[in-house]
């Protein structure tokens, strides 16, 4: 809804958009990855990640209430950062993050699809085939501008939440607290690095900002919606982590870390439960891929029209598809087939944290106009900076290739923005 359409979205409707964006591929793909690091303390990583997300959501909410446009984070960079080059660098980095997210989520889709349809062990080539196929199909759907998938988003959200509720209900009844006990204490460094990974499961809350243009009273509705959505999702993730690790040992999850939630359903609900949760994971990952491609299309086209990207990102050749996005889809297919899920998740988590740190800076610089309190902005910025620092340090030790890709992504974004330094800005003014 844009233009002269009635502004009718309520707190619950905006929150539902955020919940649908967050409760997707992140938890299905990353619960097992975080469990490998934290064992029975996995719930703690998601709890701390939820706290960081709530503080970040505050900065988003205040900016969304003050600048209720459809551009979301790109608008905040443009209005709140000290230079156009920096704003464009972070805009491009965010677009690269969305591309990495599509690859990572598609990898999770491929893992669940291959595990569901084929007997283990599943060859990596089969996982990559399913991952590539879902990218091509959903990119084609988005290029065609189909409204069918958009209407199906709500149904997919309801189905996956219902299946997760069933899993939690059964798992809570059979939960064995002794499995959550861990003789070792939680070290601060590993906790923060695992929070950096768990944060990816919350990163979808930023999409709520794009709904601000369709809210009648954004200054009231948007902050409440952010708090409601992130709070509900944080509780869901913590409970789900307790249920899964209270029924399945980390060693059992390690064998199928990429499909951990479905593996946890097997001893609780039998093979039917495994199939049911796998279907929910496929719906969740497909939904997240579709939403991310749609968002990337809109951001890339807006930046192409506004001078932040070459005009090929604004030149349509296949209905909604542009030349630039065709090249982008090709690049996403390449990295999907070259990098493992864990590396993709690490890179995307780091670049999300960098972009969301910049939102704190924008909110701080606009705090008077946005009526934002200084304490939560400072607390949130410091918390996220500490998490990012610990996460990058952990990558030095465990995934140096992923760290190199993070650095490469930042440098690529900065280089592309530098080539556009003299391009005129044609974006719509913000109120």
Question: Has residue 427 been placed in a domain?
Answer: no
Q: What does the pLDDT read at residue 146?
A: 47
Cα–Cα distance between 89 and 96 in angstroms, integer? 10
Question: Has residue 6 been placed in a domain?
Answer: no
Question: Has residue 39 been placed in a domain?
Answer: yes
Residue 303 CB partners (closer than 8 Å, separation 6+): 74, 88, 91, 92, 95, 309, 313
Q: What does the pLDDT read at residue 3?
A: 45
Residue 145 confidence (pLDDT) above 70: no
Residue 353: domain span:
11-419
Mean pLDDT of the chain: 82
**Which is higher by pLDDT, 421 or 352?**
352
Q: What is the pLDDT of residues 393-421, one digit of tens each?
A: 988 988 899 999 999 999 999 998 998 87
Residue 430 confidence (pLDDT) above 60: no
Residue 52 confidence (pLDDT) above 90: yes
Cα–Cα distance between 280 and 240 in angstroms, integer? 14
Nearest to 29 by CA among 207, 286, 231, 297: 286
Residue 295 confidence (pLDDT) above 90: no
User: The CATH number of the domain where 87 resides is what?
Assistant: 1.20.1740.10
pTM: 0.84
Question: Has residue 317 been placed in a domain?
Answer: yes
Residue 431 confidence (pLDDT) above 60: no
Q: What does the pLDDT read at residue 405?
A: 92
Q: What does the pLDDT read at residue 59?
A: 95
Question: Has residue 373 been placed in a domain?
Answer: yes
Question: Has residue 2 been placed in a domain?
Answer: no
**Which is higher by pLDDT, 397 or 151?**
397
Strongest mean pLDDT among 247-261, 284-298, 384-398: 384-398
- In percent, how much of the chain has pLDDT > 70? 87
Residue 119 confidence (pLDDT) above 90: no
Q: What does the pLDDT read at residue 278?
A: 87
Question: Has residue 343 been placed in a domain?
Answer: yes
Question: Has residue 428 been placed in a domain?
Answer: no
Q: Which two tokens stand for residue 418?
A: 């530098």
Residue 147 confidence (pLDDT) above 70: no
Q: What does the pLDDT read at residue 39?
A: 81
Total structural domains within the chain? 1
Query: Where is average pLDDT lowest: 27-36, 237-246, 384-393?
Result: 27-36
């Amino acid at each position: 809804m844009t233009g002269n359409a009635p502004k009718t979205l309520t707190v619950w409707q905006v929150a539902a958009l955020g919940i649908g964006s967050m409760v997707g591929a992140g938890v299905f793909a990353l619960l097992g990855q975080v469990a490998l690091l934290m064992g029975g303390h996995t719930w703690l990583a998601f709890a701390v990640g939820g706290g960081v997300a709530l503080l970040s959501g505050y900065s988003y909410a205040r900016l969304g209430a003050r600048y209720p446009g459809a551009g979301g984070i790109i608008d905040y960079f443009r209005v709140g950062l000290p230079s156009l080059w920096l704003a464009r660098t972070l805009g491009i980095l965010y677009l690269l993050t969305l591309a990495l997210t599509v690859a990572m989520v598609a990898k999770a889709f491929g893992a669940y699809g291959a595990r569901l349809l084929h007997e283990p062990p599943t060859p990596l080539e089969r996982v990559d085939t399913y991952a590539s196929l879902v990218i091509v199909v959903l990119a084609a759907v988005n290029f065609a501008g189909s409204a069918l998938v958009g209407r199906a988003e709500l149904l997919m959200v309801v189905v996956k939440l219902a299946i997760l509720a069933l899993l939690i209900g059964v798992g809570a009844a059979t939960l064995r607290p002794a499995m959550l006990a861990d003789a070792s204490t939680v070290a601060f460094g590993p906790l923060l690095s695992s929070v950096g990974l768990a944060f990816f499961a919350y990163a979808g809350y930023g999409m709520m900002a794009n709904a601000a243009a369709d809210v009648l009273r954004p200054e009231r509705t948007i902050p409440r919606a952010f708090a409601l959505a992130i709070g509900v999702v944080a509780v869901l993730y913590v409970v789900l982590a307790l249920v899964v690790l209270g029924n399945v040992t980390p060693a059992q999850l390690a064998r199928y870390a990429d499909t951990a939630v479905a593996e946890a359903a097997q001893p609780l609900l039998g093979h039917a439960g495994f199939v049911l949760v796998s279907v929910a994971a496929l719906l969740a990952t497909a939904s997240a891929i579709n939403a991310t491609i749609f968002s990337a299309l809109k951001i890339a086209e807006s930046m192409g029209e506004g001078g932040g990207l070459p005009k090929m990102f604004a030149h349509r050749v296949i209905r909604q598809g542009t030349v630039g996005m065709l090249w982008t889809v090709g690049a996403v297919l390449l990295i999907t087939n070259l990098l493992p899920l864990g590396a993709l998740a690490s890179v995307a988590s780091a670049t999300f944290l960098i972009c969301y740190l910049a939102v704190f800076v924008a909110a701080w610089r606009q705090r008077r106009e946005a009526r934002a309190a200084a304490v939560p902005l400072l607390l949130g910025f410091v918390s996220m900076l500490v998490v990012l620092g610990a996460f990058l340090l952990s990558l030095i030790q465990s995934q140096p290739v992923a760290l190199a890709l993070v650095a490469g992504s930042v440098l690529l974004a900065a280089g592309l923005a530098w080539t556009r330094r003299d391009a005129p800005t044609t974006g719509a003014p913000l109120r």
